Amino acid sequence: MTAGRSSAAKTGVTRVVCEQLAPRVGDLSHNKSMALDAVRRALADGADIVVLPELVTSGYVFETAEEARTTAITVEDPFFTDLSAVLAGTRSVVVLGFCQHADDTDDTDDALYNSAAVVDASGVRAVYRKTHLWDRETLFFTPGDRTPPVVDTAHGRIGVLICYDLEFAEMPRRLALAGADLIAVPTNWPLVEHPAGQYPAEIIQAQSAARANGVFIACADRSGVERGQQWTQGTAVIDQFGWLTSSVAGSTASSDPSVSEQRAAADLFLHLSRDKAISPHNDLLGDRRPDIYTQETPLL
Amino acid sequence: MTAGRSSAAKTGVTRVVCEQLAPRVGDLSHNKSMALDAVRRALADGADIVVLPELVTSGYVFETAEEARTTAITVEDPFFTDLSAVLAGTRSVVVLGFCQHADDTDDTDDALYNSAAVVDASGVRAVYRKTHLWDRETLFFTPGDRTPPVVDTAHGRIGVLICYDLEFAEMPRRLALAGADLIAVPTNWPLVEHPAGQYPAEIIQAQSAARANGVFIACADRSGVERGQQWTQGTAVIDQFGWLTSSVAGSTASSDPSVSEQRAAADLFLHLSRDKAISPHNDLLGDRRPDIYTQETPLL
């Protein structure tokens, strides 16, 4: 399942744009328009891959499960048709988070999921349901029970994780082993303190995942203030060595929660992710030792 | 195998001292003395746990396998007896790297290993052989084939990794699942460029591993210049949230390779590693989803 280096690699530049937005909690109609506008802006900026935040159509700080339910949509919702229409005539790909109401054929339950969709002009290419739920999300959402997909797009292979998923190194590892060039991460990172002069911990996790797997990572975080909740505003594009190529954090505007729209944008050679050689004798994925990882660890 | 939170937790302060040293390649006699002196200094500073660099008794930049072999010792070497004698009357623990010649009963081969020993006043408590070899180490050493141990000491449970091992998130994860409070990492990080204002990538990896697993991490790196090779001088103690508690990197002296002895020292409440709760609804290890991690990842 390791991605072969002989894969047909794309050699063009891919422009990745992460839009940091401030949806209004519970205001589905407003948030849909805001999301579509953000995609239009990104396309006007030449974006090949656009990443929007987690739960961008619903907002995040729900008071009740009922409130969450009022914002839930299915993949049959006109929003996705509208989004594909915005993408018509382009080869661009959008990854965004939404509150999903499960009504597809193999789901007879009434559960809500914290999901992400991969969408292009042809429609919804894939949906992933967040498997690691953070804090009060556990009150509103059912955790997904399927591993995230890697979607082969016109701009390379895109894997998807959502927010807290990225704290589990097993997840980016699986996507890299399945051949992901870039991992798109819709996220809502609640602001927590971090030492002066250091990047937020969530960004450090993303940097580590990128470096450890030789993949690009694009995180779209939240801006604004929602029911008193501020956000890390950690929107960032990270290269395959783990370095920040473009990031809102650290910019002068990043500490001002009244700035509702910011972005991180970078022109990347995504095919570089397919070369995992990091020394004449080392290969990031080839050097793994699954025989060791499955042994019982002795406590002496 | 998950560490129970009901384990008898130690509540005292543990002083962890990482000594950043400059051994002379191939000069076993000098390096042994240097290592013992460093332990004496750390003990005089009140150290409970002392970490010395990878291959501290041998040096690193070998020209030939024969040269490496001249620095190889077994766990029966008088050096370890001398080290235990230095520790006599204390409850302190030392973790250090050495070039190991395998001659114990279950090893009939003539292989060399890049190993680390956990030593206290009672003797050598455990030996771990590096499983992920970096670059030219593959020319001199045989990779270990056993998972690293967690050693239950007077100052908590200490896991061991060596340098490049830490780039594989599977490794600190295993140690955390086996109950490690602190991971000691003897290391030799060759200097590579990193963006201004950011910490070296190896430190970012260590921060990520600490945060993801709620464990303390203590890395002892090299100083000096060895056959033209400079070092990251990334010696650091990292807390269970992933923040640098004490670090040589970023200090004014860290860019001066002529400074041969530096240290990172921190007083830690290691028992805090046993509480993996990070929100009212989340537990760092309990939130893992092994059912997801073993699924086949779809390529769509």
Taking residues B248-257, report their average pLDDT: 59
Shortest distance, CA A78 to any CA of chain B (angstroms): 23
Q: What is the pLDDT of residue A194?
A: 85
Instruction: Name the B residues in 124-143 with CB < 8 Å from any A CB.
Output: 125-126, 131-139, 143
Residue B259 predicted with pLDDT over 80: no
Alpha carbons A246 and A188: distance in angstroms, whole number: 18
Average pLDDT, chain A: 91
The confidence band for B102, taking pLDDT boundaries of 50, 70 and 90, is confident
Query: How close A295 gets to chain B, by Cα (Å)?
Result: 6
pLDDT score of A1: 35
Residue B90 has pLDDT above 80, yes or no: yes
Contact A291 B145 (CB under 8 A): yes
Q: Is A14 on the interface with B (CB under 8 A)?
A: no
| pTM for the full predicted model | 0.93
Partner-chain contact A212 B148, CB within 8 Å:
no
> Taking 70 as the threshold, does the pLDDT of residue A60 lie above it?
yes
Q: Would the CB atoms of A297 and B169 count as touching at under 8 Å?
A: no
What pLDDT, on the 0 to 100 scale, is given for residue B122?
A: 97
Residue pairs between chains A and B whose CB atoms are closer than 8 Å: 189
- Give the chain B residue whose CA is nearest to the CA of A128: B298
Q: Tell if the CB–CB gap between A134 and B293 is shorter than 8 Å.
A: no
Band of residue B33 on the pLDDT scale cut at 50, 70, 90: very high
B8 CB near a chain A CB, below 8 Å?
no
What mean pLDDT do residues B159-182 have?
98
Q: B89 touching A, CB under 8 A?
A: no
Q: Is the pLDDT of residue B106 over 60?
A: no
Percent of chain B whose pLDDT exceeds 70: 90
B179-215 confidence digits (pLDDT tens): 999 999 999 999 998 888 778 999 999 999 999 999 9
pLDDT, greater one: A107 or A99: A99
- Residue window 280-299, chain B: list those with CB within 8 Å of chain A: 280-282, 284, 287-289, 291-293, 295-299
Grade residue B107 by pLDDT with cuts at 50, 70 and 90.
low
Cβ within 8 Å, pair B205-A205? no
Q: Give B117-153 pLDDT, tens digit per residue.
A: 999 999 999 999 999 999 999 999 999 999 999 999 9
pLDDT of residue A252: 46
